[in-house]
């Protein structure tokens, strides 16, 4: 079997709600989902998800190769771009290709990827994370009620700008998941919006009222010394890593003992996740994938010995993607369809290079100018566009 070509497609995910975090909120209820199809001379095709804007640069590294050599091809792609560096968009492209190659390898074996990777169970424990920063309190409660209906016992809140707003919302989430557990796991994600002093004060204030299972990305992703110091000042575990691209970026954090939970982004691919999980395991640390559409890394998560939990952001899938997964008993139940279990209906998609990309000038993808530089965290200093969205109706 040889790799012969690729197709770049685009669809959308309809969340049925606005999504965002402390850095900003998306306009509208839909987000773009890039889909990459890797073609072979035997007609078998692999599906990869995530932005792959560097595909023309990366594809020559795998063209004509046997897709079943996926681990070797992953390293070949890294080697192919080593002069300019593999981080950022290039690493995302490699991740999308890597997913598609693993999908092909498992399809060629006639097995779901979780089984081919050696997992014993198809169930992946999860936590609810609805990207709900822009929702009103009643909407937040309704969203997490739907997750609780599927057995979830844990949830993550986006926040970090206004304690008077965040604390009641954390309590709402705790009360919802108390249906399923006397002590639900409650996480708090601030998306790198604090400096060290702000992180200490904010988390300590929350912990006067309730326990946090972890605080996520309290400082900039590279601040090993800061997160290591913060670990000694708060009870909550420190979680980070979703934006790190390559093992070399984890090394300073692990050497500094800066993390309690090692996170990995789904968009960086299966091989990256497996390698980070192994390194975390060597440090006796749990690993937790950060979700993306269709949760492709859940297959690999089922196969590692140190999985803690997998983020679940929505209970539905993007337009045109039929995914062999269920959400039950507070987690992801992977199916028996070969590969990643994703069937693509291309009639519902457009070419990726001509698709309108929903990236407005503000939103969770852009770091605000005054992030970590605000003297006080009150609603009146929140960015004007966000303040208007969150202001109660008159």
Digit-coded pLDDT (tens) for 51-84: 999 999 999 999 999 999 999 999 999 999 998 8
* Domain match, 192 and 169 both: yes
Out of 73, 96, 112, a domain closes at 112
Query: What count of Cα atoms within 13 Å lies in the side-chain half-sphere of residue 265?
Result: 20
In a domain, 82, yes or no: yes
Measured in whole angstroms, the distance separating CA 99 from the mean position of its chain's CA atoms is 15
In a domain, 70, yes or no: yes
Distance, in Å, from the CA atom of 383 to the CA atom of 187, rounded to the nearest integer, reads: 24
Q: Give yes or no for a contact between 248 and 87, defined as CB atoms under 8 angstroms apart.
A: no
Distance, in Å, from the CA atom of 127 to the CA atom of 311, rounded to the nearest integer, reads: 5
Distance, in Å, from the CA atom of 231 to the CA atom of 61, rounded to the nearest integer, reads: 42
Q: What pLDDT digit, counting tens, does each position of 149-162 carry? A: 999 999 999 999 99
* Domain match, 172 and 321 both: yes
Q: Give yes or no for a contact between 1 and 39, defined as CB atoms under 8 angstroms apart.
A: no
Contacts of range 372-375, beta carbons closer than 8 Å, 24 or more positions apart: 372/192, 372/193, 372/194, 372/195, 372/198, 372/220, 373/195, 374/161
Q: What pLDDT digit, counting tens, does each position of 135-192 carry? A: 999 999 999 999 999 999 999 999 999 999 999 999 999 999 999 999 999 999 999 9
Distance, in Å, from the CA atom of 41 to the CA atom of 43, rounded to the nearest integer, reads: 6
Residue located via tokens 């670990």: 231
Tally of structural domains, the chain: 2
* Domain match, 186 and 274 both: yes
Residue 358 has pLDDT above 80, yes or no: no
CATH number where 181 lies: 3.20.20.120
In terms of Cα–Cα distance, which of 48, 145, 32, 149 is closest to 105? Answer: 48
Largest pairwise CA distance in the chain? 64
Residue 225 has pLDDT above 60, yes or no: yes
Whole-model pTM: value is: 0.93
In terms of Cα–Cα distance, which of 134, 4, 158, 129 is closest to 66? Answer: 4
* Domain match, 167 and 68 both: no
* Domain match, 125 and 253 both: yes
């Amino acid at each position: 079997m040889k790799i012969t070509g690729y197709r770049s497609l685009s669809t959308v995910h309809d969340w049925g709600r606005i999504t965002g975090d402390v850095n900003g909120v998306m306009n509208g209820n839909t987000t773009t989902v890039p889909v990459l199809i890797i073609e072979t001379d035997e007609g078998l095709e692999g599906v990869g998800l995530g932005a792959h804007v560097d595909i023309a640069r990366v594809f020559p590294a795998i063209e004509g190769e046997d897709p079943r050599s996926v681990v070797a091809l992953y390293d070949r792609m890294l080697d192919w771009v080593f002069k300019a560096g593999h981080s950022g968009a290039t690493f995302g492209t490699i991740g999308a290709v890597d997913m598609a190659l693993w999908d092909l390898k498992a399809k060629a074996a006639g097995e779901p990827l979780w089984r081919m990777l050696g997992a014993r169970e198809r169930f992946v424990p999860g936590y609810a994370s609805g990207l709900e920063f822009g929702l009103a309190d009643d909407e937040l409660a309704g969203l997490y009620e739907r997750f609780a209906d599927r057995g979830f016992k844990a949830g993550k809140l986006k926040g970090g700008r206004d304690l008077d707003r965040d604390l009641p919302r954390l309590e709402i989430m705790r009360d919802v998941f108390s249906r399923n557990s006397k002590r639900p796991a409650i996480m708090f994600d601030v998306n790198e919006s604090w400096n060290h002093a702000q992180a200490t004060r904010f988390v300590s204030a929350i912990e006067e009222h309730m326990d946090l299972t972890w605080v996520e990305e309290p400082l900039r992703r590279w601040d090993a010394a800061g997160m290591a110091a913060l670990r000694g000042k708060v009870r909550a575990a420190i979680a980070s890593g979703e934006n790190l691209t390559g093992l070399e970026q984890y090394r300073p954090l692990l050497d500094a003992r800066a993390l309690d939970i090692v996170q990995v982004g789904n968009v960086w691919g299966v091989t990256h996740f497996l390698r980070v999980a192994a390194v975390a395991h060597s440090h006796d640390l749990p690993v937790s994938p950060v979700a993306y559409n269709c949760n492709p890394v859940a297959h690999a998560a089922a196969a590692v010995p140190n999985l803690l939990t997998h983020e679940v952001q929505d209970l539905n899938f993007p337009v045109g993607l039929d995914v062999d997964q269920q959400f039950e008993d507070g987690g992801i139940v992977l199916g028996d369809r070969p590969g990643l279990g994703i069937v693509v209906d291309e009639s519902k998609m457009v070419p990726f290079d001509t698709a309108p990309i929903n990236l407005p000038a503000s939103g969770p993808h852009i770091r605000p100018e005054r992030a970590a530089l605000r003297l006080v965290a009150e609603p009146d200093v929140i960015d004007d566009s966000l303040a208007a969205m969150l202001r109660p109706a008159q």
